[in-house]
Amino acid sequence: MTAPTAAGCAAPDQAAPLPASLDLEKETVITGLVKAESGEAVPGAYVRLLDATGEFTAEVVTSPAGQFRFFAAPGDWTLRALSRHGNGDTAVTAARGINEVTVTVAA
């Protein structure tokens, strides 16, 4: 069966290309990498998107290359990453289109 792509709520593959149907005039994409202090990408990290009040909005697991991606709205957000190598936070002010962010984790 082919269910509609939006039927579920699980996080999609973080390494997959952006869907061709995606309208970047409308979507606010926050994407980037989780890195260790050494600069190495961290796969399997849990990245949480927190809103301007610090409330949880969404969470994904980074791809084998350490990538993550959210579909948010313009405004202030915090990315918080949890991993076996430690945790880290990065603030971002997002605008429509693609916003690239790196989150560094440390023990």
Residue 107 touching another protein (CB under 8 A)? no
Residue 20 touching another protein (CB under 8 A)? no
Nearest distance in Å: CB 51, another protein:
6
Determine how β-strand 67-72 pairs with β-strand 28-36: antiparallel
Tokens representing 33 are 């990498």
42 pairs with which residues across the strands?
none
Nearest distance in Å: CB 66, another protein:
15
Residue 60 touching another protein (CB under 8 A)? yes
Residue 95 touching another protein (CB under 8 A)? no
Query: Which residues, at least 6 apart from 34, have a Cβ–Cβ distance to it below 8 Å?
Result: 41, 42, 45, 47, 62, 66, 68, 81, 83, 88, 102, 103, 104, 105
Residue 85 touching another protein (CB under 8 A)? no
Contacts to another protein by CB under 8 A: 1, 3, 5-13, 19, 21-23, 26-27, 44, 46, 48-49, 51, 53, 55-61, 69-73, 80, 82-84
